[in-house]
């Protein structure tokens, strides 16, 4: 089976996602990047599932869990960002440092 290509795809997507989380200024884009990371992880899970021929199909089930949870998380995340924007008229994460010591 070819697995390497899928892993590389997953890694590339993950890295893009990390890069996005760490550097994007807009909160929505950060969320987007997080989604990208989750997707990359999904690819990884499924690829290993097919590669290992898991009888329980664990990898695929994990991917389903992740999709569900990602959706929930995005819902809440977007809600928080919307509220922040309404209050501060600014969605730039660099300016959200009220928890600073």
Partner 1 sequence: MNALFANATTLLLAAEDSGEHAETVLADGGVLASAAWLIPVVPMVMAFLIVFFGKRSPLKGWGMAVGAMGFVALYGTVLFGIAMFGDAIGYQGAISIGDVGTTTVEGTTSLLHLEWGWMVDGLSSMMYFVVGVVGLFVFIYAKSYMKGDIRYTWFFASFTLFAGGMLVLVSAPNLIQLIVGWELVGVASYLLIGHYWEDHENSSAAIKAFLVNKVADVGLFIGAIMIGLSVGSFRFTDIMDVVSGGGGTPLATVAFWAGVALFIGAMGKSAQFPLHVWLPDAMAGPTPVSALMHAATMVTAGVFLIGRMFPFYNSPEYAEEMRWIIVIIGSLTLFLPGLIALVQDDIKKVLAYSTVSQLGYMMVAMGAGAYTAGLFHLFTHAFFKALLFLGAGSVIHAVHSNNMSDMGGLRKYMPWTFWTFLIGSASLAGIFPLAGFWSKDEILASLAYAGDNYPVDAGGEALAYTALVVAIAGAFVTAFYMTRAVSLTFFGGYKGHGEPHESPKMMTVPLVALAVGAVTAGWLNIPGVTAYFTDGVNAVFTAPGDHHAESLNYGLAVTASLVGLLAIGLGYLLWYPDKETQQERDTFRIPVLYPLLVNKYYIDDFYMDVIVRPIRGPIAQAVNWFNGHVIDAVVNGVGFGTKALAKPIYAFDQRGLDEAFNVTAAGTAATGTFLRMFQTGKVQQYAVMIFAGTVLLVAGLIIF
- With CB under 8 A, what is the number of residues at the site for partner 1? 13
Q: Using CB under 8 A, pick the residue from 22, 56, 72, 76 that binds partner 1.
A: 22
Listed ranges 3-11, 15-23, 47-55, 62-70: which one lies at the site for partner 1 (CB under 8 A): 15-23
Q: Which of 32, 31, 38 is nearest to 14 (CA)?
A: 38
Q: Using CB under 8 A, pick the residue from 9, 16, 18, 46 that binds partner 1.
A: 18
Q: Using CB under 8 A, pick the residue from 53, 55, 76, 97 that binds partner 1.
A: 97
Taking CB under 8 A as the rule, does residue 87 contact partner 1? Answer: no
Residue 26 pairs with which residues in a beta bridge?
92
Instruction: Pick between residue 56 and residue 98 the one whose CB is nearest to partner 1.
Output: 98
CB contact at 8 A, 38 and 19: no
Taking CB under 8 A as the rule, does residue 30 contact partner 1? Answer: yes
User: What long-range pairs does 22-25 form, CB within 8 A, spacing at least 24?
Assistant: 24/93, 25/92, 25/93, 25/94
């Amino acid at each position: 089976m070819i697995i390497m290509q899928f892993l590389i795809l997953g890694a590339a997507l993950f890295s893009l996602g990390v890069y996005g989380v760490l550097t994007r200024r807009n909160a929505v884009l950060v969320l987007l990047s997080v989604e990208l990371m989750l997707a990359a992880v999904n690819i990884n899970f499924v690829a290993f599932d097919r590669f290992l021929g898991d009888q329980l199909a664990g990898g695929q089930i994990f991917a389903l869990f992740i999709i569900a949870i990602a959706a929930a998380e995005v819902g809440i995340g977007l809600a928080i960002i919307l509220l922040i924007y309404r209050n501060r008229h600014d969605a730039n994460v660099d300016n959200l440092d009220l928890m600073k010591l």
